[in-house]
Structure 1
């Protein structure tokens, strides 16, 4: 069974929208390594349409430019890219295809195939649906030390609770914390009476 990982830049108040507008001041070598490592074992990328269009509009040009990020750009281009959309899409970035049918069923089928890991970058609405379906093995949150307070899209805005377990937490020099979570069982019911004896 292939592992599914999802990576997101997120503010302290839970905003994941338009990270290009606020996260670059915190981008350093530690974050670069974390982003690269999250996709290193993958041979397939899953995107929502908007995130895919942002990637497709930037990374092929970076690969062609031959700059210091051209190697990473080529690796992204060489991967299989599966795009989730209700619209009919046309692709110019190589190795791109559209997911047909139900999202959860489609990703479950991808996960059952032979191959390397499946990675997601951004695409919060897709990530939330796959988390709820129990299909995300690792959720990588790069938590930035800023509260945006702008009413932007939050990762967990509504819907049922999603229990998670902490796998690791790594602070960076910039104040960003790289949190990695995995799926968990619902916790046992508890209330204040259960906690009262633990308060001193």
Structure 2
């Protein structure tokens, strides 16, 4: 089964919306390697429509421009891109297609396709939430920036937190020179349990 990973730029107060407005000052070689590593292991990108539209608007021009990021732009263009949307879309970026069918069933089928390349996601927060809740996301890569943005959509909204807690297990952590933390989580089927009666045993005088 293919591994499904999601990568998000996130602020210290949990904001994931419009990272282009606050994360670029923290982008260095370490972050570039982290992002490139996630995409480099993938042969398929799964994107929400808004994220796809922003990618399709920017990366083909960057590839054609031949600048420092042209090679990465070409790699994105060459990769299979599957878009989650309830609307019929017309694609101009090569190797793009619409995810057909109900999200959970379609992504389950996608993960069961032959091949050993990963399926990578970037942004697409509402899709990430749904796949986490469904137990389909294998790794959640959070690039936590040392900045409180103060406004904007957050990864976990009140509905998710109140009605369906999602226990996660930390797989790895790395702190960049900029103070950004690269945290990789997976779902934790064996999350710890307990209450205050258990916790107070660990309180020292």
Is the pair's TM-score, using the shorter chain for normalization, greater than 0.5? yes
Q: In structure 2, how many angstroms separate the alpha carbons of the residues matched to 1:188 and 1:71?
A: 44
Deviation of the 1:189 alpha carbon? 3.4
Q: Is the partner of 2:166 in helix, strand or coil?
A: coil
Q: Normalising by the residue count of structure 2, what TM-score does the alignment of the two structures yield?
A: 0.95
Deviation of the 1:143 alpha carbon? 0.2
Asked whether the 8 Å contact 2:6–2:122 carries over to 1, the reply is yes
Deviation of the 1:186 alpha carbon? 5.5
Q: Normalising by the residue count of structure 1, what TM-score does the alignment of the two structures yield?
A: 0.97
Moved over 2 A (4+): 186-189
Decide whether aligned partners of structure 1 residues 186 and 153 sit closer, same or farther in structure 2, where only a CA change above 3 A counts: farther
Query: Runs of 5+ in structure 2 lacking a partner?
Result: none
Q: Is the partner of 1:197 in helix, strand or coil?
A: helix
1:74 aligns with 2:74: yes
Q: RMSD across aligned C-alpha pairs, in angstroms?
A: 0.9
User: What residue in structure 2 maps to residue 53 of structure 1?
Assistant: 53
User: What residue in structure 1 maps to residue 180 of structure 2?
Assistant: 176
Deviation of the 1:190 alpha carbon? 1.1
Deviation of the 1:161 alpha carbon? 1.0
1:199 aligns with 2:199: no
Query: Runs of 5+ in structure 1 lacking a partner?
Result: none
User: What residue in structure 2 maps to residue 43 of structure 1?
Assistant: 43
Alignment of 1:35-184 (within 5 A): 35-115=35-115, 116-150=117-151, 152-157=152-157, 158-159=159-160, 160-184=164-188
CA deviations 1:26-63 (Å, max 9, x no partner) are: 11110000000011110100000000000000000011
Deviation of the 1:147 alpha carbon? 0.8
